[in-house]
Chains A and B, each alone.
Chain A
Amino acid sequence: MSATKAWTVASIQAALRSKKVSAREIATEFYANIDRRNPDINAYLTLSRERAFAQADRVDVATACGEKLGPLAGVPIAVKDVISTAGIRTTCGSKILETYVPPYDATAVARLEKAGAVILGKTNCDEFAMGSSNENSAYGPVRNPVAMDRVPGGSSGGSAATVAAGLAVAALGTDTGGSIRQPGACCGVPAMMPTYGRVSRYGLIAFASSLDRIGPFAMNVADAAAIMSVIAGHDENDATSAAVPLPDYTAGIEQSIQGLRIGVPEEYFGEGIDGQVKEKVLAGIALLEKLGCRPVSLKMPHTEYAIATYYIVATAEASSNLARYDGVRYGLRVPGATLIDMYRKTRERGFGAEVKRRLMLGTYALSSGYYDAYYLRAQKVRALIARDFAEAFQKVDAIVTPTTPTPAFKLGEKTSDPLQMYLADIYTVTGSLAGIPGISIPCGITKEKLPIGMQILGPHFSESRVLQLARAFEKAGGFLI
Chain B
Amino acid sequence: MTISREDVLRVAELAHLELTPEEIELYRGQLDEILNYISKLQQLDVAHVEPMTQMSFGRAEPAASSRTSRHEAETDLREDKLRPCNIADAVLEQAPDAVKPFFRVPKVIER
Chain A residues at the B interface, C-beta cutoff of 8 Å = 100-101, 103-104, 195-197, 210, 236, 239-240, 242-244, 302, 304-305, 307-309, 311-312, 319, 323, 326-333, 335-345, 347-348, 351, 356-357, 359-361, 363-364, 367, 373-374, 376-384, 386, 418-419, 422, 435, 460-461
Contact = CB atoms under 8 A, between A and B. Distances in A.
B50 A380 contact: yes
Nearest to A97: B94
Contact of A360 (B12, B52, B56): B12
Contacts of B103: 328-329
A104 B87 contact: yes
Contact of B40 (A244, A308, A351): A308
A100 B23 contact: no
Contacts of B78: 236, 239
26 contacts: A103-B90, A103-B91, A104-B87, A197-B58, A240-B56, A242-B59, A305-B41, A319-B15, A323-B16, A326-B16, A329-B94, A336-B106, A340-B16, A345-B18, A347-B15, A347-B17, A348-B17, A351-B17, A364-B7, A367-B14, A377-B41, A381-B44, A383-B50, A419-B33, A460-B57, A461-B58
B46 interface: yes
Contacts of B105: 328, 339, 342
Shortest 7 CB-CB distances between A and B: which pairs? A379-B51, A333-B96, A103-B90, A344-B18, A380-B46, A383-B52, A460-B57
B11 interface: yes
A176 B7 CA distance: 28
B82 interface: no
Given A308-B40, A340-B16, A347-B16, 9 more contacts: A195-B58, A311-B38, A328-B95, A341-B106, A363-B11, A364-B11, A378-B41, A435-B57, A461-B57
Nearest to A461: B58
Nearest to A323: B16
Given A331-B96, A364-B7, A342 B41 contact: no
Contacts of B108: 338-339
Contact of A374 (B17, B38, B52, B95): B38
Nearest to A325: B16
A419 to B, nearest CB: 6
Given A240-B55, A305-B40, A337-B106, A348 B19 contact: yes
Contacts of B38: 308, 311-312, 374
Given A196-B55, A243-B76, A309 B41 contact: yes
A335 to B, nearest CB: 8
Interface string B63-91: 00000000000001010000000010011
A330 B96 CA distance: 6
Nearest to B89: A103
B55 to A, nearest CB: 5
Contacts of B1: none
A359 B18 CA distance: 12
Contacts of B53: 379
Given A242-B57, A356-B23, A338 B106 contact: yes
Contacts of B46: 377, 380-381, 384
